[in-house]
Amino acid sequence: MKCISDFKIMNASVPKIYMAYTLMQQIQHIVEIAPKEAQWFHLVERDKDGDLIVSEMFIPEQTCSSVEVDTDSKMMINFWNELKEKHGIQEASDKFSKMFVWCHSHHNMSVNPSGQDVTQFNQMIETNRSQNNNRPVIMLIFNKREEYYCRAWDPETNFIYEGLDIEYLTANCAWIDEQAKVKFKEPAPVKIPAYFPKTTSTLPGRSTTTKVTSYYPSGTYSPTSGAYSYQNDYSNLWSESLESTAPAADDGRTLQEDYMFEIFGRGYYSTLKVLTENDIEIFAENSNDLVAENLRWFMYCLVKKDKASFSKPRKEITQKVYVAAIKKFFKDKYKPIFSDCEELISYAMELEDAHLQKNQKAFDEIFDDFYLEQKITSERK
């Protein structure tokens, strides 16, 4: 009878050898500095996937030969005593039971194993079996040409593998992922008006004239993604109604304008548009959430016309107090427009700069200019 198929092993997986990259650097260093052939050992453990994890490095006292390495019984006894003295009997025994990765260098020669190398590898397998260790045995040979030879015995299958690749362990970043879930926070969504009025204009943040031809339901604008989300599924209406939704590549926006875009939403802010009662409420609530704490304090003192508060210890402003002050300031103005909001932010920023520079004269001038401007604009009809 003749078998019609070639010999093969079904459902067999070939293990991989893993080690830390720093361990490989140590191996390269010992190969580089060893005067002739030298040998050393590593620990080996099998992971849950059946791959072989190589760790630590142990160098016994030895006589280096240019011909071959010799692992005699005297060397191993001295090596055991060294481990016992350094780690204690229990830990030394644990390490010895895992120390089945035997490495040596071939200097500038080929890394192919010699007859003595193969004999010693087989002796390690027999030692493992006699001790019922069930631990894999690995032989690695390196040279200065950055070549290596690998042979590994797997006690679970009794297979001997040759030519296994060495791969590097990746850093454990799971703890960073857990920390990121808790500590990396998204900015809060910004309220946008209940509708977008019919208009045709060049909106800030757009590179071309943008037509808004329909009314839209209420929703939120995310400053992180620059996107709108709606309470109902009307997002298609937004994209269909705009002639161009691409933001300008470089529109030279100021920081004040950036604040306005975040507070009102990129597609709604219009400098000369008169503020409705709804707009004033949006500005008050969203500026409380989005404007930096220091800047919010200067805005509050401006709308309260309270210059004296700047020189006093800063007190905590609750959201309710801040929002009420902002709403009253704009409701008391005659037909406030969007640029008045931006102007309030601008003056507050200038006051903050003067305060940081301890320039009282500039501070007083900025404060007085703001209220002179308010007096002029209150007469606008």
Q: What is the mean pLDDT of residues 146-160?
A: 92
Q: What is the mean pLDDT of residues 9-16?
A: 77
- Fill in the amino acid letter for 252: G
Answer whether 236's CB lies under 8 Å from 205's CB.
no
Helix ranges, the chain (H) = 21-33, 73-87, 89-98, 115-130, 174-183, 235-241, 255-264, 277-290, 293-303, 319-331, 338-356, 360-377
Q: CA 147, 149, 154 angle in degrees (round to 5)? A: 150
pLDDT attached to residue 212? 35
Q: CA 317, 323, 324 angle in degrees (round to 5)? A: 100
pLDDT attached to residue 205? 42
Q: What is the mean pLDDT of residues 92-120?
A: 91
For residue 204, pLDDT over 60 is answered with no
Average pLDDT, the chain: 77
For residue 148, pLDDT over 80 is answered with yes
pLDDT attached to residue 208? 41
For residue 378, pLDDT over 60 is answered with no
- Residue 260: closest CA among 166, 366, 344, 138: 344
Quote the CA–CA distance of 94 and 97 in Å, as a whole number: 5
Q: What is the mean pLDDT of residues 122-144?
A: 90
User: Which of these ranges, 65-69, 154-158, 260-264, has the smallest mean pLDDT?
Assistant: 65-69
Quote the CA–CA distance of 103 and 143 in Å, as a whole number: 11
Secondary structure class of 303 (helix, strand, coil) = helix
83-92, 171-180, 225-234: which is most confident: 83-92
Q: What is the mean pLDDT of residues 241-260?
A: 53
Residue 54 pLDDT class (50, 70, 90 cuts): very high
Residue 149 pLDDT class (50, 70, 90 cuts): very high
Q: What is the mean pLDDT of residues 18-38?
A: 90
What token pair was written down for 177? Answer: 């992922």
What tens digit of pLDDT does each residue of 260-308 get?
Answer: 878 877 656 666 778 888 889 888 988 888 888 888 888 888 888 877 6
What tens digit of pLDDT does each residue of 214-228 get?
Answer: 333 344 445 455 444
Answer whether 55's CB lies under 8 Å from 24's CB.
no
Residue 232 pLDDT class (50, 70, 90 cuts): very low
pLDDT attached to residue 66? 60
Residue 52 pLDDT class (50, 70, 90 cuts): very high
Length of the chain: 381
What token pair was written down for 125? Answer: 């397998």
Longest dimension (CA), the chain: 111
Please name the residues in contact with 207: beta carbons below 8 A apart, sequence gap of 6 or more: 244, 246, 247, 248, 249, 251
The distance from CA 221 to its chain's CA centroid, rounded to whole angstroms, is: 25
pLDDT attached to residue 67? 60
- Residue 341: closest CA among 277, 263, 266: 263
Q: Which residue has the higher pLDDT, 326 or 318?
A: 326
Quote the CA–CA distance of 14 and 17 in Å, as a whole number: 10
For residue 140, pLDDT over 50 is answered with yes
pLDDT attached to residue 28? 92
> Which residues of 129-217 form beta strands (DSSP E)?
137-142, 148-154, 159-162, 166-168, 190-191, 199-201, 210-212
For residue 12, pLDDT over 60 is answered with yes
Quote the CA–CA distance of 90 and 72 in Å, as a whole number: 24
pLDDT attached to residue 6? 75
Q: What is the mean pLDDT of residues 134-151?
A: 92
Beta bridge partners of 41: 58, 102
User: Which of these ranges, 73-77, 174-178, 262-266, has the smallest mean pLDDT?
Assistant: 262-266
What tens digit of pLDDT does each residue of 325-347 get?
Answer: 999 988 888 788 888 888 899 88
CATH superfamily of 17-168: Cytidine Deaminase, domain 2 (3.40.140.10)
For residue 171, pLDDT over 50 is answered with yes
pLDDT attached to residue 228? 45
Please report where in the chains the tokens 């780690």 appear, as a residue.
87
For the chain, domain boundaries: 17-168, 190-377
- The HSE-up count of residue 318 (CA atoms within 13 Å, CB side) is 3
Q: What is the mean pLDDT of residues 128-146?
A: 90
**Burial category of 169 from C-beta neighbours within 10 Å (exposed 0-12, middle 13-18, buried 19 and up):** middle
Quote the CA–CA distance of 304 and 325 in Å, as a whole number: 7
For residue 101, pLDDT over 90 is answered with yes
